[in-house]
Structure 1
Amino acid sequence: MMLWLGIWEEYVWRRENRWRVWGGAALLCLFFMVATPKIPHSRSHHQYADMRNFLGVPNTLNVLTSFPLLMVGVVGFILCLHGSCFGISVKGETWGWAFFYAGVVGLAFGSSYYHLKPDDSRVTWEVFPMMISIVSLFSTLVVERVDERLGLTCLFSLMSLVLGSIAYERTFDDLRLRMTLTFIPSISIPALAFVFPAKYSHSRYWFWAAGLYLVAKFVASADMKVYWSTSYIISGHSLAHINLALVPILLSLMLWFRNIKIPRDS
């Protein structure tokens, strides 16, 4: 009897916390949408420091620096589905990591396609797979650190929200919902990794990956300054592509080396 009561209490606690998580996220998103003005597309969003063409390829370095993502994405996707190479112990993690690597592969193609002719229409093909990777990574961490069912719920619910945000952006020319769905998981991933106990070894890789992602965003925002400081060899945006490719490489190393932690007997 006590066993069944314990199981029921755990089920109720998890269900209540699911609603708290989703309710808090929804309120945060709603607050951002109400408190901020509309953010439309702008031609300046597509103006990059390095617009040089080599061998007839427009914006050559911005295009070519996207391809490292393709290599690490394909290799990671194959190893993820192989089953015995990465430290993955439950099916929910496999789903999350598979979508993450698929998003990385899609980002390689989407970013290259966009940078060949940057405009409002093509940028969707870069943004969409990037959002898939971010929400998949967040959901995978929820599976690992919090609860498998909650993590899978996050995965497929956030996928639907990503599709909705893209449709909203294209319909109303407003970037806010897309920015929210990118920003919240980006800060939630290191927060979850810090607050919840690690199931596996090598958990510090989560923080290193988050640091590389922040570096990528920083150098991308300093596109022209980086271009000038490198004597016009490489721009901040191209360097950001390389930093973004290092994120799945680092996470792949984590998956390769990590093991389930075995608590010591007291």
Structure 2
Amino acid sequence: MVVTRFAPSPNGSLHLGHAYSAITAHDLAKERGGTFQLRIEDIDGVRSLPEKADEFREDLEWLGLEWVEMPAQSTRLETYEAFARNLLSRGYLYPCTCTRKDIMAMKPRMGPEGAIYPGTCKGRNLDPEKPAALRLDVDRAMAELPELFWEDEVNGTQIADPRPFGDVVLVRKDAPASYHLASTLDDASDGVTLVTRGQDLYAMTHIHRVLQELLGLPVPMWHHHPILLGEDGEKLAKRRNSPSLADRRRAGEDGRVLADRLRRGEFGAGITLASA
């Protein structure tokens, strides 16, 4: 059975880009006789707003979507900790006390996620009282693992290579897990077989495929769909005040009609989205 999911973070309202992603995941599951899940990714500290989760549910219902709700990330902290300890005990993680300011002062190379961490803390004895993140030793992982592949319905067969990202953070100083670790573990726990998300997250899959291999997790299929862009050609984003679904809903717009317009491509995907 095909299982897809939509996993928003409650740190702001949903917009048309989120609607397009949720509808894509929902429809892929339904047309294949599968299940569409909703998972709230609420471990971003004070930025996670509990009331937004209810708003999300109202938005999805307004769009005419049906889902099975899975446990929120805040209920899974022990799982994240246990798997992080597993990787740490096997030598795949190391502590890092560097701040973003520290890293930028090193004039690092830039990669898909921004500055590539130069490995400054690797092998060092650090002050145990100083807050530290845990980073993945990518070179060690790649040296010990066989060649790994992953399948994307849009982009075809891929060879996993996370090295362009450098040693990514898996456990943050200010949160129990990074997106990479939490999302990978959640998808495995929830039985997701088709990870459906935007092309902007496509490159992240190289990291997630390596984590699946290190942790002995099942390997799903991926479907990275095009993303909606604003009038300025930039990705729609909460932080850029893209028009929210909640505002459209409260203004009396018909959500099912809006969903069908998104399905028909009236707003465009991967191209400029005109105001509507």
Per the normalisation by structure 1, the TM-score is 0.22
**Greater strand proportion:** 2
